[in-house]
Amino acid sequence: MSEYKDATQAIRAGIQQTNEQENSEAIFMTSSFAYASAEEAAAMFGGEIEGNVYSRFTNPTVSLFEKRLATLEKGEAAIATSSGMAALMTLAYTLLKSGDRVVCSRNIFGSSIKFFDGYTTKFGVEVVYVDATDYAGWEAMIDDNTRLCYFETPSNPLYEVVDVQRVADLCHAKNALLCVDTVLATPALQNPLTQGADIVMQSATKFIDGQGRCLGGALISSQALVDEFTGFMRSAGPAMSPFNAWVLVNGLETLSLRMKAHSASAMTLATWLEAHPKVTKVNYAGLESHKYHELAKRQQKDFGGLLSFVVEGGRKSAWTVINGTKLMSITGNLGDTKTLVTHPASTTHGRLSDEQKAAAGIAEGLVRISVGLEDIDDIINDLKTGLDKL
């Protein structure tokens, strides 16, 4: 189906349709599969013939999601996991061994920092951090022991944008692999594999689902690397359920349309916030004033649906704004049809130390908004109500 554009691929890729098939993706809710003979079972388990063995690592519904996502990400293959964090675990435990170094940007998801620092280091892996856009810092930190480099672009919640190709070149000069978390952009807006990255990590829980219904994650890469990830999946089992895969397949069908709408509303809201007298800073690269505006324009098709802003008065003021809204849902998730608001310093990044928060730029007066698909005038008026209470 390579002749079709992404919006079409999101609906049609991976389907093996016959005259008998329903005009919808089937859910194969089964733990195991039956065979016509003992010989066929042995051949399937031995990998001599292709087919489904056990839903921990082969399931038709999950495979459809993987094929469709890989197509949209411009990758050779994908492996689906039970959550975004399960994807990170699969990445780390497959690729890393004692003595390896991981170089991460500081401005990554708080749970990712906790995972790297609290668990991978137990096995003799060194984890070091660098400012996401400090390219001299990346070059200095990537040494001969570096196996993996990892960053988010755009980052959550500050919308830092990293030059993927530039960091990829630094990684590859030292034979290191680059994994890019592009959950805020999704494959509808950015394809890091075409920009030099070796692996893309997705938390499908967010915009790919788009309605806050289920958890899911994925790694997209070359077939050879995905085969390695599959070996870990077969042994450790952080698998995506068939039902969640079915939900996420249907999420992919509307992803392109939703990301256009999220982006348009976020741009309108960011522009309004930038002019508000009680807002000291807005983090959204769609704004021409944003430090990474030009790079984001070059790497992305649009700017996405997440932004953040800072108010004076620290946590007390941020909570006053959040509690003053009525329409928005106060929750730590993002990427929903509903507009979501949260205080990162006490929620998504709440487990970080004060020093880690400061290094990552997570201020106490920072408010994050995942802009939904409600009417933008209603979203602005709701936020105005909150800001008016300052």
Cα(352)–Cα(356) distance, integer angstroms: 6
Nearest to 26 by CA among 242, 229, 213: 242
193-237 tens-digit pLDDT:
999 999 999 999 999 999 999 999 999 999 999 999 999 999 999
Between residues 348 and 10, the one the model is more confident about: 348
Q: What pLDDT does 20 receive?
A: 43
**Mean pLDDT over residues 69-98, rounded?**
98
Q: Are strands 366-370 and 340-342 parallel, antiparallel or unpaired?
A: antiparallel
Instruction: List the CATH code of the domain at 6-253.
Output: 3.40.640.10
Least confident of 120-134, 282-296, 325-339, 355-369: 355-369
101-124 tens-digit pLDDT:
999 999 898 899 999 999 999 999
Between residues 353 and 382, the one the model is more confident about: 382
pTM: 0.93
**What is the secondary structure of 15-47 as a DSSP string?**
----TTS-SS------SB---SSHHHHHHHHTT
Strand order from edge to edge, sheet including 126-130: 77-81, 217-221, 199-203, 177-181, 146-152, 101-105, 126-130
- Those residues with Cβ within 8 angstroms of residue 72's Cβ, 6 or more apart along the chain or in another chain: 6, 9, 10, 13, 187, 188, 252, 255
Contact predicate 385/325, CB 8 Å: yes
CB-CB neighbours of 3 under 10 Å: 5
Mean per-residue pLDDT of the chain: 94
Cα(278)–Cα(385) distance, integer angstroms: 12
Nearest to 335 by CA among 198, 211, 172: 211
- Domain positions in the chain are 6-253, 255-387
Strand order from edge to edge, sheet including 366-370: 279-283, 306-311, 366-370, 340-342, 329-330
pLDDT band for position 357 (cuts 50, 70, 90)? confident
Q: Which CATH architecture has domain 255-387?
A: Alpha-Beta Complex (3.90)
In terms of DSSP H, where are the helices of the chain? 6-12, 38-45, 60-73, 84-95, 110-118, 135-141, 164-173, 186-189, 223-236, 242-253, 255-274, 293-299, 314-324, 354-360, 376-387
Q: What pLDDT does 17 receive?
A: 46
230-269 tens-digit pLDDT:
999 999 999 999 999 999 999 999 999 999 999 999 999 9
**What is the secondary structure of 56-82 as a DSSP string?**
TT--HHHHHHHHHHHHHHT-SEEEEES
Residue written as token pair 């788009």: 210
Q: What pLDDT does 118 receive?
A: 95
Angle at 19 between CA 14 and CA 24, to 5 degrees: 50
pLDDT band for position 4 (cuts 50, 70, 90)? confident
Least confident of 27-31, 299-303, 351-355, 372-376: 351-355
pLDDT band for position 367 (cuts 50, 70, 90)? very high
Cα(61)–Cα(125) distance, integer angstroms: 35
